[in-house]
């Protein structure tokens, strides 16, 4: 605790428990020079969290400037700002320009907008006219603190600007997601005759990455190449990151290979790009290549990308080797690397290893807890997922939507219905009920737990904000419980809402129409599909065939089958079973023979079972033998059990 106190006009400055400096008001004129040896000793013992307060402090101008600058140079930004607060209250004159610059930089470092405004206001109160360098510092401070409106006001009021001024505002826009403003300002900068530098390119390339405009990215790359900064690492690394975000891995590789002296960011960006875009082996290859150079030591982010690649490959052996390397470099307890490693082990099914890694993380954050909870949830261990969730809450962390989605996934079995209801209560309590994707997962949980009543209750609560996923989930739930009438009722409600049915919706309705043998409803759905221009993919066509056969309209089913360019095994089976169940054995076997003569040598179990039943009469013995041979062939090549042993 550092402070100044008075005792008979003597000021005691306590900078640490081992360093006490005392001086009279007169000697305050230059305390740094008078007590330089003692101050050096004091600064060597001061801690970063030391709190400084002065009372009173009637020091002349020189002493305050030197003292504040000294604090900033000693990397005590908080103490410097506290010293300024005392100065502002005790004096009525401005500081030097260099002192203001140090204070503004301290605000930028601490992201202290309140102090930044206070210091800027102090300048304005004394009509202090900052030079261009100080104006750029103020502009940069507002940008880094996220007050982009104030940054723009400072920028517009500047009588003179340089490339730093433009870059500072562009960087602020880019950092806080205002990519359009960043690009617009960059164009204005070019039109004003200013030449961007590598820092400008780094910020504007980052902004381009956030926009869905690949042609703009190409133009920007060309501009970088034409400039003198085309070979600068900041520009090149930003280009790698931009191209990976546009999923253009070949362009990223071209930029990477042209870098003469790659740094850790270059390697990290490339490895992360490969891992994110599905080139996991390439990611691990570059990771090994970086290590073989013996120049750079991987940081926690590069290890995180390597672990992510291993998890996607489901290669825990690779992961274990990289884990050992991570421990060797002292990053075993790092938050980012540990979280990625925990996620890898969980996705590979090594839950105990995941648990061990998780408990080695020094201070697990919400992302780490979500990773371990999701791992056990994906493995179906709902009990452990709920236990970990309880532990997380005891640490004071509040769950987010990712947490509750994992818990709902874990509770998607009838035996876990009670736990799922507890999660439901937590969702309501914490306000997640307002998020539609959480409600959709809740609907799915009740559906898989065969609790249709609660699923319908949830749907009624969210019907006004339901999306297509909500409607399809509740329709599927009704269909699974053989509630075809409820499916048709809900479909009518959906048609008068703002949500348009998709192929999943019409498939559910067609299956329901087949269950109740409602040719009228099924044909109306068919007309709706044609009128709405809905894509007739194979799944919808198969549902139409199945509906028509169950409604007894084999002619319509045949027409639908003939309209399919490439019927799959379900298309063939649906029509064959339809003919067989209608008593048209000859047509069924004719289709069966046609199918076997084509590329469909294997049939599903249901189709073979029906064939076997049809072949029971002795006069059908020849057909029965054909079916038996088909099933035997299928069993040998697919490893599946014989399903027509009853024939």
What mean pLDDT is reported for the chain?
82
Residue 267 has pLDDT above 90, yes or no: yes
- Give pTM, 2 decimals: 0.70
Q: Give the whole-number percent of the chain exceeding pLDDT 90.
A: 49
423 CB contacts (<8 Å, ≥6 apart)? 404, 407, 408, 411, 445
Cα–Cα distance, 339 to 366 (Å, whole number): 10
Highest averaged pLDDT of the listed ranges 40-44, 287-291, 292-296: 287-291
| Mean pLDDT, residues 226-249 | 92
pLDDT digit string, tens, across residues 185-237: 999 999 999 999 999 999 999 999 888 889 999 999 999 999 888 888 999 99
Distance in angstroms (rounded) separating the CA atoms of residues 623 and 589: 8
Closest CA to 430 of 401, 458, 459: 401
| Confidence class for position 569, pLDDT limits 50, 70, 90 | confident
pLDDT tens digits along 473-500? 999 899 888 888 888 888 888 888 888 8
Query: How many Cβ atoms sit within 10 Å of the Cβ of residue 534?
Result: 16
User: Phi and psi (nearest 5°) for 217?
Assistant: -60, -40
Looking at 453-457, 497-501, 589-593, which range is the least confident one?
Answer: 589-593
Please write the tens of the pLDDT for every residue from 338-377: 999 999 999 898 999 999 999 999 889 999 999 999 999 9
- Confidence at 547, pLDDT banded by 50, 70, 90: confident
Contacts 24+ apart (CB under 8 A), 503-506: 503/534, 503/535, 503/537, 503/539, 503/540, 504/472, 504/476, 505/468, 505/471, 505/472, 505/475, 506/534, 506/540, 506/543
3-state secondary structure of 147: coil
pLDDT score at 612: 54
Chain centroid to CA 617: how far? 62
Q: In the sheet where 52-54 sits, what is the strand order?
A: 19-23, 10-16, 2-7, 52-54
SS3 379: coil
Q: Tell me if the bond preceding 147 is cis, omega within 30° of 0.
A: no
> Which residue's entry shows tokens 């400096």?
21
């Amino acid at each position: 605790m550092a402070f100044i106190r008075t005792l008979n006009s003597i000021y005691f400055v306590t900078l640490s428990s081992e360093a006490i400096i005392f001086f009279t008001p007169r000697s305050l004129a230059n305390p740094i020079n008078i007590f330089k040896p003692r101050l050096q000793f004091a600064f060597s013992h001061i801690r970063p969290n030391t709190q400084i307060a002065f009372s009173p402090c009637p020091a002349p101008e020189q002493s305050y400037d030197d003292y504040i600058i000294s604090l900033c140079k000693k990397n005590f930004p908080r103490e410097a700002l506290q010293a300024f607060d005392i100065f502002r209250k005790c004096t009525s004159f401005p500081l030097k320009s260099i002192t203001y610059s140090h204070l503004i930089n301290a605000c930028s470092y601490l992201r202290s907008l309140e102090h930044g405004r206070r210091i800027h206001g102090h300048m304005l109160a004394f009509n202090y006219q900052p030079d261009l360098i100080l104006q750029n510092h103020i502009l940069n401070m507002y940008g880094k603190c996220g007050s982009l409106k104030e940054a723009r006001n400072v920028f517009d009021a500047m009588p003179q600007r340089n490339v730093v001024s433009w870059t500072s505002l562009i960087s602020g826009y880019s950092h806080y997601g205002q990519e359009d403003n960043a690009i617009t300002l960059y164009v204005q900068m070019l039109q004003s005759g200013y030449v961007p530098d590598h820092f400008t390119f780094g910020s504007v390339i980052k902004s381009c990455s956030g926009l869905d405009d690949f042609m703009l990215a190409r133009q920007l790359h060309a501009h970088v190449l034409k400039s003198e900064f085309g070979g600068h690492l900041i520009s090149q690394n930003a280009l790698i990151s931009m191209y990976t975000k546009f999923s253009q891995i070949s362009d990223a590789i071209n930029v990477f290979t042209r870098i003469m002296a790659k740094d850790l960011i270059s390697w990290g960006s490339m490895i992360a790009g490969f891992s994110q875009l599905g080139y996991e082996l390439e990611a691990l290859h570059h990771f090994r290549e970086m290590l073989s150079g013996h120049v750079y030591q991987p940081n926690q982010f590069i290890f995180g990308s390597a672990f992510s690649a291993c998890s996607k490959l489901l290669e825990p052996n690779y992961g274990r080797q990289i884990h050992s390397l991570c421990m060797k470099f002292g990053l075993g307890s790092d938050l980012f690397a540990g979280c990625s490693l925990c996620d890898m082990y969980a996705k590979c099914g090594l839950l105990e290893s995941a648990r061990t890694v998780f408990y080695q993380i020094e201070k697990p954050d919400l992302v780490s807890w979500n990773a371990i909870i999701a791992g056990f949830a994906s493995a179906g261990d709902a009990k452990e997922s709920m236990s970990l969730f309880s532990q997380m809450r005891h640490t004071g962390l509040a769950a987010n939507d990712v947490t509750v989605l994992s818990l709902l996934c874990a509770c998607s079995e009838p035996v876990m219905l009670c736990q799922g209801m507890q999660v439901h209560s937590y969702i309501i309590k914490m306000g997640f009920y307002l998020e539609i994707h959480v409600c959709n997962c809740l609907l799915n949980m009740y559906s898989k737990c065969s609790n249709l009543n609660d699923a319908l209750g949830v749907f009624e609560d969210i019907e006004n904000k339901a999306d297509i996923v909500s409607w399809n989930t509740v329709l599927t739930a009704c269909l699974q419980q053989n509630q075809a009438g409820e499916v048709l009722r809900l479909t009518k409600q959906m048609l008068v809402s703002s949500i348009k049915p998709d192929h999943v919706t019409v498939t559910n309705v067609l299956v329901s129409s087949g269950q109740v043998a409602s040719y009228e409803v099924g044909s109306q759905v068919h007309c709706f599909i044609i009128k709405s221009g809905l894509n007739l993919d194979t799944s919808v066509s198969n549902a139409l065939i199945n509906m028509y056969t169950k409604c007894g309209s084999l002619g319509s089913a045949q027409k639908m089958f003939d309209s399919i360019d490439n019927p799959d095994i379900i298309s063939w089976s649906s029509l064959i079973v339809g003919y067989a169940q209608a008593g048209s054995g000859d047509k069924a076997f004719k289709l069966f023979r046609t199918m076997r003569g084509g590329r469909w040598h294997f049939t599903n179990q249901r189709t073979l079972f029906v064939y076997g039943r049809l072949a029971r009469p002795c006069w059908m013995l020849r057909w029965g033998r054909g079916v038996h041979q088909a099933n035997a062939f299928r069993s040998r090549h697919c490893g599946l059990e014989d399903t027509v042993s009853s024939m």
